[in-house]
């Protein structure tokens, strides 16, 4: 059977977690803010932080792919 190596032993793998958490945490903040009397300035800030986290995730995914080669 082929190995299903997800890259978990690579140096950049564990570095994905902080920006990944940033994406999820800010997504939850957005939905919480939308429940009652939304503050759209806060929502805009959360979206920016979510996007920054997403960029970090893709940066580390690219590094993982490069390390797997």
Instruction: Give the pLDDT score at 8.
Output: 76
The per-residue pLDDT for 10 is: 83
pLDDT at 26: 98
Q: What is the pLDDT of residue 4?
A: 56
Structure tokens at 32: 């919480």
Measured distance CA(18)–CA(14) in Å, rounded: 8
Is residue 46 within 8 A of residue 30, CB to CB? The reply is: yes
The model's pLDDT over 3-57, given as tens digits with 9 standing for 90+, comes to 456 667 888 888 999 999 999 999 999 999 999 899 999 999 999 999 999 999 9
**Which residue is listed with tokens 């979206």?**
47
Please tell me the pTM assigned to this model: 0.80
pLDDT for 41: 97
Q: Is the dihedral of CA 21, 27, 32, 37 positive or negative?
A: positive
């Amino acid at each position: 059977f082929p190995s299903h190596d997800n890259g978990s032993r690579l140096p950049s793998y564990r570095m994905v977690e902080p920006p990944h958490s940033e994406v999820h945490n800010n997504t939850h903040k957005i939905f919480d803010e939308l429940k009652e009397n939304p503050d759209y300035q806060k929502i805009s800030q959360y979206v920016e932080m979510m996007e920054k986290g997403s960029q970090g995730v893709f940066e580390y995914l690219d590094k993982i792919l490069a390390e797997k080669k």
